[in-house]
Amino acid sequence: MLTMYSTSWCGYCHRLKSQFDREQIAYQIVDIEQDADAAVYVMGVNGGNQTVPTVRFPDGSALTNPSITQVRQRLAGLAGN
């Protein structure tokens, strides 16, 4: 399952969530303003920035502000391994 790090006010996060729902991609949302450990993780993969959406994949890799196409491609690559 994907983890999407987000904030309540992030328009890009809302758009990606809608795309996940439409594509029936399973995910969980973690609000980095409510979870300090999540904020630290996001900063760790984004050069110290709290950039959202940041999506973590089951293999531990991450993409920052990905398109739905990038997410589908990464998931397809993981399924092929």
Which residues lie across from 56 on neighbouring strands? 3, 62
pLDDT digits (tens, 9 = 90+) for 67-78: 999 999 999 999
Q: How does the average pLDDT of the chain come out, rounded?
A: 96
Predicted local distance difference test score (pLDDT) of residue 25: 97
Predicted local distance difference test score (pLDDT) of residue 80: 80
8 A C-beta contact, residue 28 and residue 52? no
pLDDT digits (tens, 9 = 90+) for 23-62: 999 999 999 999 999 999 999 999 999 999 999 999 999 9
The answer on pLDDT for 81 being more than 70 is: no
Predicted local distance difference test score (pLDDT) of residue 30: 98
> Which sign, positive or negative, has the C-alpha torsion 11, 15, 16, 21?
positive
Task: Give the homologous superfamily in CATH for domain 2-79.
Answer: Glutaredoxin (3.40.30.10)
DSSP string, 20-73: HHHHT--EEEEETTT-HHHHHHHHHHTTT---S-EEE-TTS-EEES--HHHHHH
